Each structure stands twice: as structure tokens, then as C-alpha cells.
Chain A
């Protein structure tokens, strides 16, 4: 981690450290749908703006107004944009004649989408799911460790990524993402994370979706009661949960049915099963 900060001046390093900690609360404030986290972005960047435009109050105000525009990107990876913007502001402060300040807003706008695309699927789709899978299995036994382990498993990698995103953005700039795409590393990363995510999904379907029928049939001339659940289990363990999950997936993915409707369907299904005496 040293390598990324070694070229920074002491004052610069201090300001960047404040930016790093502030970026955790970037999404805390709200100023409506037209700005989203614009205020948070500005507030996060303030230590750098104060440092860079110390003796230029006019330029400073311009920089502040520049960052009130709409901003929203996945946390942790959005630090890459913060770092990149900080380095561009630095160039702008040092050489305002030759630097086009409107390119700062342009780079913000163009990076938000692709970075959120990567960030959302990694943080929400993979990291959180793996952490939650382990957390749920601990918590299902009633242990408070479930929540704690879940929280740590998510936040330790997130911290590391946030750190490298901010200082990486500040020092290496736009070439970073291009290189990752060029080397084909991005494609492999996406593939293996989907693989791991799907495997965890399967495991969690088996342990969390529950179905048990109380239906039993008595055959004439025999004192034995045939429990339907036993037969279902012999056929394939967890057959009904698997079918219900794949059915819900089919409706959402292939038929584009609204999730709330699918949830409602399952609630109705449950109540009907209860009324018929199946569950």
C-alpha cells in the first residue's frame, strides 16, 4: 500500500487521507433525485478542494459548484472516480490556462455507469451473497456470530478495494480500466464470480427454502400410514424447494414478471396449501 502514496506531498497525503475517510459517508446525505449524492461527492472532495485552491477563492467556488451535479456510483469503487477527479482538479489548479475544466464533469459522468455495473455485480451479487450465505448458516443456529462474521467478511475486502480505488484513481488515472479490459482479466473475473455466486445460490436454496407436507395416505387393509414427504425425499431431496425457486426464476428472468407479484403468488400458494391441509 505504501507504493501508491510515496510520491505525495505531506499536505496532499493528509488531505487524501481525509478524503478517504469521508468517502465512507458519501451516500449519507440526500438532496433529492436531481442531485442524488452530488452533495456527498462534494463534501468528500472538500479537503482536496481546500488544499488545491487555497489562494484562489474564485476558482475554489467554481470547483465547488462544479461538483453539485448528479452523482451516484457503487460505494468503494466510486473512490476511483474521486481519486481521478482529485488528480484532475490538481492539474486544473496548477495549469488553469491549458486545462479544460469541463472534462472533469465529463469523466465523472462517463465513469459512473461502467464502474457501477462492475461494482453492483461484485459487491451486491458476489461478495454480499457469499458473506450472507456463511452468516445465515451461523445465525440459523441462533449465534450472534452470524451477523458479525457476515459484516467482517463483507467489509474487509471492501476496505481494501476502497483504498486501492482512491489512490489508484489518483495516481494512475484512466489507463487503469483500459488495461484491465485489454488483458482480458475483467472477463475472467466476471466469469468466475458468476460461477461462485451460482454455486452459493444453489447451496442456499437447499438450506433456506423449506417445504414439508403433512399429507399422509392410509391404504385400505393396511395399518401403515404412507407419508407423502418420505416419497418426495426419496425421489429427490429438496425437490419442491428447487422447483419453486426455479419457477420463480423462470417468471422473473424469462417472463419479466414483477417481483412483488411473484412474492404474492407464493404467499397465496402457501395459504391455499394450508387450507387444503397439505401443509
Chain B
């Protein structure tokens, strides 16, 4: 189990630390984390499948303004590790990921908002000195330190959790297991609900239904739905732009047409 715990540490560090090194490039999303964990634990396929399901569950968990309700990296790594090494069924592992994610989110919030305040005076001091070497050292030092602590959470989680999880899995009644699997199937609903909150617009709500029917009944894959969506977007944007132009022409009808043309030229030049 020590090997698995160490591998979990590595997986979190690569995905979480690497994510912030590469411009929040989404390495921290369960889709990628699942693949990385699966590769490290020796069962790529299971890792990918766990990643795909967890991505849907955590889709709404957006890191906006630094406030998160669940931390997807730790949740994905620990639950995927258990699914691969402890024989936990996929549905149960998905349900397990939720409380783990909430706990990890608490650790992350504590670290970045409370504990790491100890480095604020350090930055003030070295900035006053104007010492560039120390600025570089602090930039990288805090990076390593911060993500080592977060990775350690997964290390401890896998090391301490595998025993109880194993016992739980072997003794759990079948009906409860079925229930956990059912919950795992329904949980992505919360992720989508949170994102819809971000996107919702009463006038555009029908397009949600369109997307649903295209996939539920016509079995269209996501790529096809996205393509259809882009076509609709272009059509809507064009008609809106024409409407805007007509409206602004109406306003400017009493101005000379020369002035209008020169402004348009300027704008075109600017965007080219």
C-alpha cells in the first residue's frame, strides 16, 4: 500500500502543481487526473472511465474567485486509487469521491487563505530590498511547499484509508451498494445544475432542451451537438449584428454618411 500511497502523492503533484505551472491548463480536471492516476496505478482504462464520470460530477465545481466547494484532484486520485487497488466498484468509488473532495477543499482553503499568510511579510521584506534572486526563490519555493502539502493529503488518505475501505466494501449489503451506484449515476446532475446557474438566461433556456433531445433521442455525440450549436451561434450573432447596425444607423441618420464610414474603417483597422 505504501507504493500506491507514494504514487498517489506523485499523481496529485503532477496534476495540481503542474496545472498552475502551465497557466491553469486544466491538468487539474478529473478527465486528465483520471488518466494520469490510471497510468501510474497500472490500470489506464479504469482510470479513464473514473475520470470521465468524475469530470461530469465536478463539472460545476469551478475555481472562481478562489472559492471552491470540492477539490477535484485529491477526490479523483484517492477514489480512482481505491477503485483500482481495493476492488471498490465504480459507482461506489464515485460516491466516495464527494466527501473526499469536500474535505480536501477545506484543507486547500485553510492553506491558501490562512497558513500561507506567513509568507506575506517575507515578500514585503525582499521587495523592499529589490532582490530579484529572492523573488524567484519565493515564487518557486512556495509553489513546491504548497503542492507538497496538498499531495501529502492523498498520501495519508490512501495509506490510512485502504484498510477501512476494504472492510467496508466486503461487508456492505447489496441494497446499499445498489443505492450508492444509483447515487453515483445521478450526482453529475449537481455539476450541470451549478454550471447552468452561470449560463442561465430565460430566453435561451429552450436550447438546453434542444441539446438534451439531440443526445437522448438522436444519440448525437458531443462533437455533433457542439457543431450544431456553433452553427446556431453564428446565425444568431449575424442577425444580432445586422440589427445593431440598423439600430445605430437609425440613430446616426442625421449625421453625414462620411463620418460614419470613417468610423467603421477605423474599427476594422483596429480588429485586423
Contact = CB atoms under 8 A, between A and B. Distances in A.
Interface string A41-72: 01100100010000001001100110010001
A132 B59 contact: yes
A9 to B, nearest CB: 22
B254 interface: no
Contacts of B229: 195-196, 199-200
Interface residues of A, number: 116
A103 interface: no
Contact of B55 (A132, A183, A195, A251): A132
Contacts of A201: 192, 195-196, 199, 208, 211
Nearest to B26: A154
B128 A25 contact: no
Q: How large is the interface on B (under 10, 10 to 19, 20 to 34, 35 or more residues)?
A: 35 or more
Interface in B206-228: 207-217, 220-223, 225-226, 228
Choose among A143, A199, A279 the residue with the greatest number of B CB atoms under 10 Å from its CB: A199
A199 B224 CA distance: 11
Nearest to A113: B65
Interface in A120-152: 120-121, 124-126, 128-137, 139-140, 142-144, 146-147, 150-151
Nearest to A267: B183
Contact of A75 (B24, B111, B210, B212): B24
Interface in B183-203: 183-190, 192-201
A247 B189 CA distance: 9
B261 to A, nearest CB: 15
Contacts of B53: 140, 208
B1 interface: no
B225 to A, nearest CB: 4
B174 to A, nearest CB: 9
Interface in A206-248: 206-212, 237-238, 241-242, 244-248
Interface of B: 17, 20-27, 29, 31-32, 34-35, 44-45, 48-49, 51-53, 55-56, 59-60, 62-66, 69-70, 95, 98, 102, 111-120, 122-124, 127-130, 132, 135-136, 138-140, 142-143, 146, 175-190, 192-201, 204-205, 207-217, 220-223, 225-226, 228-230, 232-234, 236-237, 240-241, 244, 267, 270, 272
